Amino acid sequence: MTTLIINKKEYEVNLLGHETLLEVLRDKLSLTGTKTSCQESECGACTVNIDKKAILSCITLAVDVVGKEITTIEGLADGENLHPVQQAFLDHGSAQCGFCIPGMIMSCKALLDNNQKPNQEEMEYALDGNICRCTGYLKIFNAIRAAGTQMKAHV
């Protein structure tokens, strides 16, 4: 049995060695918040944070990230209290069908953890691996700006 540290909790998993992190999250641990739309690193729906960086779980071997700090969408809210990024997405109408959103939010969080005042170019480059078919991205940029302000105020 191996221990994976996910959302600050320890999960005991029987890893065979060839599972991707995506499969472990969704199929073994029922953490179905992380999605996939292509399974070949193009869509970004499987984005999680590992050691505070945006990482694609569909091309990560689970066994390779033992001991790392893994954060998924399920780890952002604190009970009823949403993370500023989540709240900003709600306030700004940044989600429509929602399928890309967990991955999108994880990319936004990784950006904002590093830089609470990203400019337009920095935002565009940070999200260039997350495909959204519904929103056209503008309201997502609005949410990032708002969440950044909020996060800066509470530092």
Partner 1 sequence: MLLNPLTYHSPKTALEAAQLYSNLPEARILAGGTFLLNNLKQLKKKGLKTPRNIISLKHIEELKGIVANKEKLIIKSMTVINDVFNSPHLTDNFSVLRTVCRNISTNPIRNMATVGGNLTSRYTWTELGAVLIALEADMHFTGPDGKEEIISVEDFLKNNARSSTIFTHVSIKKNKEHSFAYQRIRKLSYIDVPMLAVCVRTTFKGDRFTDTHAVMNNCVNFAQRDLVLEEFLNKSSRRNGVAEEALNHLDTKIYDIRGDDYKKAVFRVSIKNAIKDLINQKEKNDHPDH
Partner 2 sequence: MKTIFDKKYINPVGKSVPKIDGKGIVTGQQKYVFDVSFPNMLVAKMIRSPHPHARIISIDTSKAEKLPGVKAIVTAIDTHNIKFGSNEYFFPHTVDQQALEADKVRYIGDEIGAVAAVDEETVDEALKLIDVQYEILPAVFDMEEAIKPGAPQIHEAMNNIAVILPVNFGNPERIMKEADYVREDVFYTQAAAHCSMEPHVCVGQFETFSNKVTLWSSSQAPFKCREALAKCLKMDLNDVRVIKLAVGGGFGSKLEMHPMDFAAVVLSKKCGGLPVKICYTREEEFAFSRRKHAMKYKVKTGIKKDGTILAMTGEVLADGGAYCSYGPTVIAAAIMRIFMVYKLQHFRISGYRIYTNTPISGAIRGFGGVQSGFAIESHIDLLARGIGMDPVEFRLKNITRPNMVTVNKMLLTSNGLRDCIEKAAAAADWKNKYNKQKHLCRGMGIGIAADVMGSKMYKSHESAGSIVKVEEDGSVYLFTGAADTGQGSNTALSQIAAQELGVSYSRIRCKSGDTEITPFDTGSFASRVTFISGNATKRAANDAKKQILTIVAQELKFNIDDLDIAAEEVINTKDKSVLMNFDKALELCYSFNYGRQIIGRGSYNPKTTPVDFRTGEGNISGSYGFEAQIAEVEVNKETGEVKILKVWDAHDIGKAINPQQVEGQIEGSIAMGIGYSLYEDLKFKNGRVANANFANYRLPKSLGTPAIETILIETDEKEGPFGAKGMGEASLLPTSAAIANAIEDAVGVRIKELPITPDKILKALKEKEQAKTN
In sequence order, which residues have a C-beta less than 8 Å from that of residue 145 and are 6 or more positions away? Answer: none
> Other C-beta atoms within 10 Å of 79: how many?
5
Does residue 4 interact with partner 1 by CB under 8 A?
no
| CB neighbours of residue 91 within 10 Å | 14
Instruction: Draw the binding track, 41-70, toward partner 2 (x: CB under 8 A; -: no contact).
Output: -xx-x-------------------------
Minimum CB separation from partner 1 for residue 10, in Å? 20
Q: Which of 3, 52, 97, 117 binds partner 2 (CB under 8 A)?
A: 97
Binding partner of 63, given partner 1, partner 2, none, CB within 5-8 angstroms per partner class: partner 1
56 counts as binding partner 1 under rule CB under 8 A: yes
Partner from partner 1, partner 2, none binding residue 101, C-beta < 5-8 Å depending on class: partner 2
Interaction between residue 19 and partner 1 (CB under 8 A): yes
Residue 84: in which H helix or E strand, if any? Answer: helix 84-91
Q: Which of 31, 27, 32, 34 is nearest to 57 (CA)?
A: 34
By the 10 Å C-beta count (0-12 exposed, 13-18 middle, 19+ buried), 86 is classed as buried
DSSP state of 17: S
Query: Can you read off the two tokens belonging to residue 92?
Result: 């700004």
Q: In the complex with partner 1, which residue's Cβ is closer, 16 or 153?
A: 16
CB of 22 to partner 1, least distance (A): 8
What mask, x for binding partner 2 by CB under 8 A, covers residues 26 to 45?
x-----xxxx-xxxx-xx-x
| Interacting residues with partner 1 between 129 and 148 (CB under 8 A) | 129
